[in-house]
Amino acid sequence: MRVLFLGDIVGKPGRSAVKEALPGLRGRLAPDLVVANAENAAGGFGLTRKVLDELFGYGLDLLTTGNHIWDKKEILSFVGTEERLLRPANYPPKVPGRGIQRLALPDGRALWVLNLQGKILMPPVDCPFRKADELLAALPGEERCILVDMHAEATSEKRAMGFFLDGRVSMVIGTHTHVPTADEEILPKGTGYLTDAGMTGPYGSVIGMEVSDSLERILTGMPRILNVAKAQPRLAGLFAELDDESGRCLSLERILVSLPPA
């Protein structure tokens, strides 16, 4: 199975990057499935139904998220019914939405996608390690291709999750920090790992936001509306080939595509 994962899509520049770059990546990589983190896709914070439909229109098969999923109130009107949208699985019981989903291919193969959120320097959630144990134990044993989006602030927590799940899932990909790391590797028991897939959005920014807005907020400590930047749009992510029977990761390619300004 060939899987392409796109790092955090930020605002209109990120969505435009998907629109412009994904067709070429499909032609070169021929992925069976494309998954992306989209918690910042609507104006840099959260998701709307319109933005969700736009991204699905570009050919994304499933969207993961993180702590910013609740930033737009209208998310509550569809997060519980849209099967192609995940929120972190380790939110407390009764929180709407789902944290794991099965993506089926026409030939009968399937990819399970699990969305988790870290605890270090993040809003309070249940333990992602225990939740991963619980959910993985309930999966069909014959379906071994599993992708995990570990949405977390701390590199140590993402790295720990990689080793915790090594040999039990196909890929552990970190999101949230919007900075692509260069440490892609196949761990000893066969799990593909990357600390952070990076940002699909404007790199001439402070993690996607206008430099002047970010500097004013940091230097003064005063509240400041952060606007999505536009400069240096790029698409970032990770491409992997997985063994259909064992679920082991066979190869990894880090993706970073620069695009002309909109």
Residue 68 falls in the annotated catalytic set:
yes
For the stretch 214-262, pLDDT in tens is 999 999 999 999 999 999 999 999 999 999 999 999 999 999 999 997 6
pLDDT at 261: 78
Of 68, 151, 176, 178, which is the active-site residue? 68
Other Cβ atoms within 10 Å of 104 Cβ, number: 11
Q: Where are the domains of the chain?
A: 2-258
How far apart are the C-alpha atoms of 145 and 72, rounded to whole Å? Answer: 32
As to burial, measured by CB atoms within 10 angstroms (0-12 exposed, 13-18 middle, 19+ buried), residue 76 is: exposed
* Homologous superfamily of 2-258: Metallo-dependent phosphatases (3.60.21.10)
For the stretch 109-150, pLDDT in tens is 999 999 999 999 999 999 999 999 999 999 998 999 999 999
Instruction: Tell me which residue of 141, 142, 159 sits closest to 150, measured CA to CA.
Output: 159
Question: Given a cut of 70, is residue 68 above it in pLDDT?
Answer: yes
Question: Given a cut of 80, is residue 164 above it in pLDDT?
Answer: yes
For the stretch 7-57, pLDDT in tens is 999 999 999 999 999 999 999 999 999 999 999 999 999 999 999 999 999
Instruction: Tell me which residue of 87, 138, 80, 154 sits closest to 116, measured CA to CA.
Output: 87
Report CA-CA distances (Å) from 181 to 29, 167, 197, 199, 242. Answer: 21, 22, 7, 11, 21
> Helix 155-165 crosses helix 128-137 at what angle (to 10 degrees)?
20
Q: Which phi and psi angles does 230 have, rounded to 5°?
A: -125, -20
Instruction: Tell me which residue of 190, 211, 186, 208 sits closest to 198, measured CA to CA.
Output: 208
**Section 155-184 average pLDDT:** 98
150 with 120: CB under 8 angstroms? no
How far apart are the C-alpha atoms of 190 and 115, rounded to whole Å? Answer: 20
Report CA-CA distances (Å) from 94 to 35, 37, 89, 125, 205. Answer: 25, 23, 11, 13, 37
Report CA-CA distances (Å) from 206 to 19, 36, 41, 199, 221. Answer: 23, 21, 16, 11, 16
How far apart are the C-alpha atoms of 209 and 225, rounded to whole Å? Answer: 10
Q: Considering the chain, what is the average pLDDT of its residues?
A: 97
**Section 183-211 average pLDDT:** 98
DSSP for 68-89 reads GGGSSGGGGGTTTT-TTB---T
How far apart are the C-alpha atoms of 1 and 124, rounded to whole Å? Answer: 35
How far apart are the C-alpha atoms of 6 and 119, rounded to whole Å? Answer: 23
68 with 45: CB under 8 angstroms? yes
